[in-house]
Chain A
Amino acid sequence: MKIKNFNLGLGGFLGNNPKLSNFLPQAVTLFAIIFIIGFFTFNAQTNMDTRGIDFGFGFLTQESSFDIQFSLIDYDGSHSYAKAYLVGLLNTLLVSIIGIFFATVLGVVVGISRLSSNYLIAKLAGIYVEIFRNIPLLLQIFFWYFAALRALPLPKEAISFFDVSFLTIKGFFVPKLVWTNFSVFFYSLVAAIVSIVFIYIHAKRKQESTGQRMPVFFISLGLLIILPLIASLLGGVGLDYEYPELVQQSKTIFNFKGGINIIPELMALALALSLYTATFIAECVRAGIMGVSKGQKEAAASIGLTPGQVLKLVIMPQALRIIIPPTTNQYLNLTKNSSLAAAIAYPDLVLVFAGTAMMQTGRAIEIVSITMLTYLTLSIAISIFMNWYNKKIAIKEK
């Protein structure tokens, strides 16, 4: 009774001031947030003061003095912590991009297979999904890593691919490309891609106005091969290979020198992330396809489209609208899950920066904040891109 009265009182009070009833709850929330953040900052400040810890980002320019196993850019221990951060970030991006690519390809294939009329294919796809999405990812990472380590041979007995690439327990050694006049090749490639885009737009317009279809795929392929080829011949582009070669280090220790080493940690992590995330993407794809009404498929078939065309031209464009938003989540998950890399020594952002660098400098608050902000930025970037793509393929009401 009392409470009801109070409610009525407050409601009446606010009801009489529409501006206030809009403004007050928001102001209270804002104050609460400021207060909470302020409280924690103040608390951290006081505690750090009493324990003699100072706060600052000056350490980023200091020499890191630790080496990293695998780096996409030139780095060694004489570089700064900021550069070590960059190495970790690039490694995180690398494994995320590889993972997202393979997870998407595999996920789409498996998702479509689950709806296949072929019993065996549908069942196999179903079994794959159920097994891989129900085992914790960390276990899968360990499984692939240690399974790979057990299965792969030592460098001396390497599995050789045409004597130029070698698969060993220490990684997959592939030839390194050594370019001369690389820029000529690069710009011709860019030119080819740009012209393909224009041809694609032209073909689309032509089809819309006349109904004629151009063989866009073959024209693009031709352009992509011929243009860089001609440019390379005229521009003097040279391509050489640096092959990995076996070097003996002691009685039983051998190793490969030269070439590029794709380390087993990267392979295991990318494999585990792809296989795990692909199951969720497969389910998104299946849901998307099933979300398109059956009549659409039957109507498309009745006008004489082949099953492939039905899928490509009628089902997928509609299914994508259902598939994209949950798949975005899976991309975000994959990127964040890549931080499990630390367990198997893949030098990602968490292992390098929130691991070694944090230990060497003792700057827990600074480094954890930077790491969190980085993941937040990555996730938001992926979200923005996927939202843009989602909007692009959404139904355009005419």
Chain B
Amino acid sequence: MSKTLKTLVYLLTSIALLVSFETGAMAAKKSKTLKKTQKMGYVRCGVSQGLPGFSNADAAGNWSGVDVDVCRAVAAATLGDSGKVKFYPLSAKERFTALTSGEIDVLSRNTTWTLSRDADIGLTFVGVNFYDGQGFMVRKGSGITSTSQFKSGISACTNIGTTTELNMRDFFNSKGIKYEPVAFEKADEVVAAYDAGRCDTYTTDKSGLAAQRTKLSKPDDHIVLPETISKEPLGPVVRQGDSVWEDIVRWSLNVMIEAEEYGITSANADSMKSSENPAIKRLVGAEGELGAAFGLDNDWSLRIIKQVGNYGESYKRNIADTGILPDRGPNQLWTKGGILYVPPAR
């Protein structure tokens, strides 16, 4: 009896030791999240409940948008197929809890990078895929053409769980304007209430305003005011504590931006392998061992460019061609007058 027990204890201990050594050795190269993702066969990606241009599902349930493309890039890099993404539509309120609780592994949901979010609640922002700022939309007929014409008593519709409520307060307080904040849980209700005339103005990120304007009954009767009242760098977020996964998501995004910088597109990526420029050759996997650092193969970046395209292609497909924001504004490459500037992939 006691002999069997002893054997059992030995066996269990050795298995436990083996397992711990195994994971210890793997951790150097492979992140836990990556391992889990590869085992599941899909990337779990948190997106919005429908924001045209950023993350929006069509009638057939196919997701598209610049935020969606970040997740597709991660899937292309880690699983070899940009289609292997499972999307989780989340409200602004749910998004961080979904990420910190491990329900999703990447949050790519027009989320503003702020100090308190980055430092406080167990999140890590990996970069910026859209430079935005909060603005106001009003009815054209109101005669308001600038935020300086706002007067006390104005009612402003917005949705909760975002930085907009805070910016709005800072803005109106600094101007000494008393206002009525009407905050809804979901963007669709904000649009409906503003459309019905409940509020005089609708405030959120300007890209959001441009996108939501298309949902109004008469989009042409509304204008987005020129002023921007805040900085809203939007970008993908990951859970704290898995730095390798963090790097994978960061560089999946960076590769898309850098590919545009070097003129590599989904169409010409393969032919770029024979380029003279070593930076281009590294990006398409013809030189260097960039993937190894993440525990990925060397074609990871090539797959991103081929399957998802570079940042410019993604922007054109999702935001410019859909008429949401044809002008790239600050979201142009630094070489072309914008502020998109990413560290070199080398």
Contact = CB atoms under 8 A, between A and B. Distances in A.
Given A67-B169, A342-B160, 7 more contacts: A50-B241, A67-B168, A150-B196, A264-B198, A343-B189, A356-B161, A361-B120
B162 A359 contact: yes
Contact of B240 (A51, A65, A146, A355): A51
B181 A249 contact: no
B151 A249 contact: yes
B166 A360 contact: yes
Contact of A342 (B144, B150, B185, B196): B185
Contacts of B101: 47
A372 to B, nearest CB: 15
Most buried by A among B96, B121, B160: B160
Interface stretch (B17-25, B135-143, B335-343): B135-143
Given A53-B122, A345-B182, A355 B161 contact: yes
Contacts of A345: 157, 182-185, 189, 193
B193 A51 contact: no
B198 A51 contact: no
B168 to A, nearest CB: 8
Contacts of B239: 51
Contacts of A51: 100, 122, 239-241
A235 interface: no
**How extensive is the interface on chain B, given as a class?**
35 or more
Nearest to B96: A362
A249 B154 contact: yes
A253 B180 contact: no
A255 B151 CA distance: 10
Contacts of A50: 241
Contacts of B93: 355, 358-359
B117 interface: yes
A343 B187 CA distance: 10
Given A355-B93, A358-B93, A249 B166 contact: no
A169 B197 contact: yes
B192 interface: yes
Interface in B190-204: 192-193, 196-198, 200
A255 B177 CA distance: 14
Interface string B236-265: 000111000000000000000000000000
A69 interface: yes
Interface of B: 92-93, 96-97, 100-102, 116-117, 120-122, 139, 141-144, 149-155, 157, 160-162, 165-166, 168-170, 173, 179-186, 189, 192-193, 196-198, 200, 239-241
B21 to A, nearest CB: 20
B153 A247 contact: yes
Q: Which 5 A-B pairs have CB atoms at the shortest separation, nearest pair first? A: A362-B121, A251-B143, A51-B122, A149-B196, A359-B161
10 contacts: A146-B196, A149-B197, A250-B144, A251-B142, A253-B142, A345-B157, A355-B93, A355-B185, A360-B166, A364-B96
A101 interface: no
Nearest to A342: B185
A50 B101 CA distance: 11
A351 interface: yes
B240 A249 contact: no
A343 B185 contact: yes
B120 A362 contact: yes
A47 B141 CA distance: 53
A359 B90 CA distance: 13
Contacts of B166: 65-66, 360
Contacts of A316: none
B200 A249 contact: yes
**How extensive is the interface on chain A, given as a class?**
35 or more
A258 to B, nearest CB: 10
A249 B153 contact: yes
A347 interface: yes
Interface in A110-164: 146, 149-150, 154
B144 to A, nearest CB: 5
Interface in A253-302: 253, 255-257, 264-265
Nearest to B196: A149
A67 B192 CA distance: 22
Most buried by B among A69, A249, A358: A249
Contact of B181 (A69, A170, A264, A364): A69
A207 to B, nearest CB: 54
Nearest to A358: B93
A149 B157 CA distance: 14
Contact of A252 (B117, B142, B196, B198): B142
Nearest to A59: B120
Contacts of A264: 198
A180 B150 CA distance: 35
A352 to B, nearest CB: 8
A48 interface: yes
A68 interface: yes
A314 interface: no
B184 A68 contact: no
A15 interface: no
Contact of B165 (A66, A257, A265): A66
Interface string A41-81: 00000011011110000000000011111000000010000
A250 B143 CA distance: 6
Interface in A344-386: 344-345, 347, 351, 355-356, 358-364
A361 B97 CA distance: 12
Contacts of A356: 160-161, 165, 183
